[in-house]
Structures are given as C-alpha cells and as structure tokens.
Amino acid sequence: MKVIHLSAECYPVAKVGGLGDVAGALPKYLNQLGVEAIVVMPFYERKFVQENEFDTVFQATTTMGDRPFFFEILKERTKKLGFDLYILKIPGLLDRTEVYGYADDDERFVAFQLAFLDWLLWSGERADVIHCHDHQTGLVPFLLYFSSRYTALSNIRTVFTIHNGQYHGTFDWQKFNYLPDVDSWKTGLLDWDGGINPLSAAVRCADVFTTVSPSYLNELSVNSNGLEHLFEMEKGRGIGIINGIDTDVWNPETDPMLAVNYTAETVSTEKIKNKKLLCEQFGFSPDKPLFTFIGRLVGEKGADLLPEIFKLMLQDQENPVSILVLGSGEKGTEHELSVLKEAFPGQYNAYIGYNEELAHRIYAGADFILMPSRVEPCGLNQLYALRYGTIPVVNSTGGLKDTVIDISENGGYGIRCHVATVHEIFNGARRAVQLFKNTDALQLLYPKAMALDFSWDRSAKEYIHLYHNLKPIS
Ligand code: ADP
C-alpha cells in the first residue's frame, strides 16, 4: 500500500505548529510498519531546502483558471527523514520564506493542489491513498471525485485529518474559476455560508475524516468557527486518533540541543542542571519552581489570559515562582507579555519569537508547563513536556483531556483545570507550587511522566487500520 501525505508543513523542512511535527513523523513510522508513505509539500526558501540535495523529477506547465503557471517536483535525494520527501515549487507562488500569511495564500494553496494532482495524472506516480492535512489540501478529495479532469485518479481513496478546525481557508466564489471543470451538480459540496470552504468540502468528500484526538471530534460540534452544524451531521464519519510524538527527535537522552542529557533513571540529578543553565540565561533563581508557556500567542491557546494569570502568580508572596514564555502571535498579547518583564525582573522573562532549540531546552529545564487552551485539537507541548519530566498544568479540553490525568486520580501525572479562566488556571498553578514543595512526590513523578508511552507506533497502527478499511462513500 502506498500513501501520499499532502501537507503545507513538515518538520524539519518547515514547521509552524503541530501539523509540521505530525507530517514529519507519522510517515516515518508508517514506513517502519511496512506501509510505503511519502510526503508532498510546497517549496519554501528555507534552510533545509538550501542545505540538502534534491533531484528535479518532474516539470510541467498547468493552469489555474486562465493563469498558466510552471511547476516542478523536487525529490530529496537520501531519504533523510525516513520517507521520500517531494517538494513542489511554483516560481512566484511557492518559493517564499514563510509558510502562511501572504495576501495570495488562496492562490498559493489552490495552485499547490492543482499541480499536485496534475503531477499524479501526468507522471503515472501511483497512490492507493492520499492523506490530506488541514484546509490547505482540502480541495483534493472534491477535485479527485468530482472533476472530469481527474477521473483517471478517482479510484484513489482519501483521508482528511483536521489538525485545526478553526481555520477553514474560505475564499470567495468569484475564484471558483480557479478550479478545473467540475460536476455542476456537486458544487454545493464546496459551499459553506456563501463561500468556498476547503475544510468543509474535505470533511464531506474524503472517504473518512479524522481529528487528532477523540475529544476534539466531539468538541468540533460545539466550537469550530461556524462549522458546528456540519460536524454535528458528519460526526459519525469521523474518527479521533491521538497524535504521537517522534521519540527520535524528542528524546532527552540523546537530544543534541540539550546541554545535559538525561533518562528516567538520571532525571532526579540531571534535569536540575538544565534548569540551572536556563535560569542563568534568563536571570532566575533555580530554587523556585519554573513555569513556562510555549506556543502560539492566540486566543485558542488562552494566551490572552496569561498576563493576568502571571501577575497573580508573581504577586503571590507565599508561593514564589519564576516564569518563562516562548511564543509569538497576536501583537497585543506579545506586547503585554513583553512589558511584564519590567514589572517583575528576576522572576519573569519572555522570548517573543520562534526558537526550536530554546523550546527543547525549556522542555528540559522547566518544572511545569502551563496550557490554558480554550481549544486544543491534540496538543503536543504537554506530550513533549512529559517526555522531558516537565509536569503539565492544563485546561481540560480536546487532546489535553485525552492525554493528561490529574495527580489526584489513580495513576495521575499532571494538573487539570476545568475551565480556561484566569482564576481556575491560577489555582492550577498554585497546586503545582504545592507539588513542587513536596520534593519526594515530585521526584517520583519525574520518571513516571517520562515513561509514559505517547510514541507514534500505536497511533500509526490506527491509521494503517483505517487505510485498509477505506471504502468509497456512496
Ligand atoms: P499548534 O499546532 O496548535 O500550534 P501543538 O501543541 O500541536 O500546537 O504544536 C506546537 C508545536 O510548535 C510544538 O512542537 C511546540 O514546541 C512548537 N512551538 C510553538 N511555538 C513555538 C515557538 N515560539 N518556538 C519554538 N517552538 C514552538
């Protein structure tokens, strides 16, 4: 069986969030389990592409509406990532540094999908399943089954995975002419609320859709930025499969980004060394519990709550803490989190920006990671944190609900809050401080957290089961 993963991101080539991590890991584990899995992604002008060797395997010119464009497919030469990586280059559209955020993102990703399908059509490249990820690839199932241009490919089965249901990639019907000839009886499948909505089209047209945690599948019916009704109707066709983590990349024993490596056996003496280095760099005392937040500074992640939560934590004289933020996103939140530095020097610091290496060092050096998310499709941060012996303090939603068990319960290893409000999360942080004061309990918790199995093996097997049971929808 051959599966093509189609994704806008793939770590380490280009990553903005969890989608990149998944596309960079799941195919590797599928290959290890005997399923041929490759990745096709857009070309970005980034380090990985500049530093590795690629062969041009295909070139052609096609059209998007009345706009002709040239594209080429480049294949990474050495299978360095554990799978065949193909990047699709379109001069003028897919040859920039950033993944998202351009005024012509609609055109960039529609062209990506058309060129991908044309490559399959014209090159004879074989596939049993196309596994599409998020809205940037959401038109593929519709085009495959309802465009006469791709009839020759319509026996290929499709899976669509939702990593984030808040973003739909909606564009105006005026751009309908970008698409090739499609069955006019089926165009309604593209529509949601008067726009072309690639996410909803994929949910309706793919053979099966999945979410990256079981709880998130249910939550989409109550919170999906306008698609609640769709998910209420389609829920029965969905499957929730929790993400794994790439334990080759995220391994405190071998992680080259850490100053001091450690295992579950050595965590009690070695993790503190990472903490000390981090505290030195950011001006903290290593004796206090170190809390962190890593991630996109957006409402979904509850980032707007952080300044108030932090003020309460930092003013709590009985429970002194240090706090380190790593993130970027909404400008207002970035600003609020930056100015806090002046109010609480030596207790609080923030790195506004993206820094992969620092993220690894923080997972290793922090005691607790705060995740006050309002929406969390799966959440990888809590899984990385646990693997590095860092205890998550989370709002119990989506994947956080599925992966974090509260310490008050049997077998628990984290702290769960029941709603994303300033006071509830502050109370969660206070519980964490009490835990920190109980050195014996904490020492027992470190190895327990590190031994939890969130590897891809289990989840990859669930995807394989899914691929084998795909049947065309009637
Ligand atoms: P999402 O995909 O919604 O942003 P996830 O928890 O699924 O959230 O994945 C986030 C990933 O991005 C994690 O690997 C996290 O470490 C990483 N990340 C987020 N923000 C930053 C940042 N500013 N610097 C480094 N890594 C980051």
Q: Please spell the DSSP secondary structure of 388-454, one letter per residue.
A: TT-EEEEES-HHHHHH--BTTSTT--BEEESS-SHHHHHHHHHHHHHHHH-HHHHHHHHHHHHT---
Query: Nearest C-alpha to atom 26 of ligand 1 is from which residue?
Result: 356
Which of 130, 7, 30 has the alpha carbon at shortest distance from 459?
30
Q: CA-to-CA distance for 285 and 257, rounded, in angstroms?
A: 22
> Which phi and psi (to 5°) does residue 100 adopt?
-130, 175
Block residue for tokens 């001006």: 283
DSSP 160: E
Which of 95, 103, 46, 50 has the alpha carbon at shortest distance from 70?
95
Which of 289, 320, 325, 295 has the alpha carbon at shortest distance from 307?
325
Average pLDDT over residues 64-90: 98
- The atom of ligand 1 lying closest to the CA of 326 is 23
Which of 119, 140, 136 has the alpha carbon at shortest distance from 62?
119
CB of 12 shorter than 6 A to ligand 1: no
Q: What is the pLDDT of residue 471?
A: 74
Cβ atoms within 10 A of the Cβ of 312, count?
15
Per-residue pLDDT at 379 exceeds 90: yes
Assigned token pair, 164: 């984030």
CB of 326 shorter than 6 A to ligand 1: yes
Per-residue pLDDT at 473 exceeds 60: no
Q: CA-to-CA distance for 241 and 235, rounded, in angstroms?
A: 14
Which of 27, 29, 9 has the alpha carbon at shortest distance from 18?
9
Give the CA radius of gyration of the chain: 23
On whether the CB atoms of residues 406 and 370 are closer than 8 A, the answer is no
pLDDT tens digits, one per residue of 228-286: 999 999 999 999 999 999 999 999 999 999 999 999 999 999 999 999 999 999 999 99
Question: Residue type at 24?
Answer: G
Which of 406, 449, 411 has the alpha carbon at shortest distance from 431?
406
Q: Which residues contact 147 (CB under 8 A, 6 or more apart)?
A: 179, 180, 181, 182, 183
Q: Which residues contact 423 (CB under 8 A, 6 or more apart)?
A: none
On whether the CB atoms of residues 149 and 113 are closer than 8 A, the answer is no
Q: How far is the CA of 354 from the centre of ligand 1 (A)?
A: 9
- The atom of ligand 1 lying closest to the CA of 163 is 2
Q: What is the pLDDT of residue 307?
A: 98
Per-residue pLDDT at 470 exceeds 50: yes
Q: Which residue out of 161, 296, 328, 330 has the highest number of ligand 1 atoms within 8 Å of its CB and is therefore the one to mutate?
A: 296
Which of 217, 214, 264 has the alpha carbon at shortest distance from 459?
214
Q: How far is the CA of 16 from the centre of ligand 1 (A)?
A: 7
Q: How far is the CA of 24 from the centre of ligand 1 (A)?
A: 14
Per-residue pLDDT at 109 exceeds 50: yes
The dihedral over CA atoms of 376, 380, 381, 385, expressed in degrees to the nearest 10, equals 130
User: Cα dist. 434→320, 407, 422, 428, 461 in Å?
Assistant: 11, 12, 19, 10, 39
The H-assigned helical ranges of 91-135 are: 105-123
Q: What is the pLDDT of residue 472?
A: 59
CB of 218 shorter than 6 A to ligand 1: no
Q: CA-to-CA distance for 168 and 194, rounded, in angstroms?
A: 13
Average pLDDT over residues 186-206: 98
Q: What contacts 24+ positions apart, CB below 8 Å, involve 438-443?
A: 442/367, 443/268
Per-residue pLDDT at 474 exceeds 80: no
- The atom of ligand 1 lying closest to the CA of 300 is 3
74-103 burial, b for 16+ CB within 10 Å, e for fewer? bbbeeeebbbbbbbbbbeebbeeeebeeee
pLDDT tens digits, one per residue of 111-157: 999 999 999 999 999 999 999 999 999 999 999 999 999 999 999 99
On whether the CB atoms of residues 36 and 3 are closer than 8 A, the answer is yes
Q: CA-to-CA distance for 210 and 189, rounded, in angstroms?
A: 18
CB of 381 shorter than 6 A to ligand 1: yes
Q: How far separated are the first and last CA of the chain, in Å rounded?
A: 23
Which of 113, 115, 108 has the alpha carbon at shortest distance from 60?
115
Q: Which residues contact 442 (CB under 8 A, 6 or more apart)?
A: 367, 435, 436
Q: What does the mean pLDDT of the chain come to?
A: 97
- Cα dihedral sign, 310-311-317-318: negative
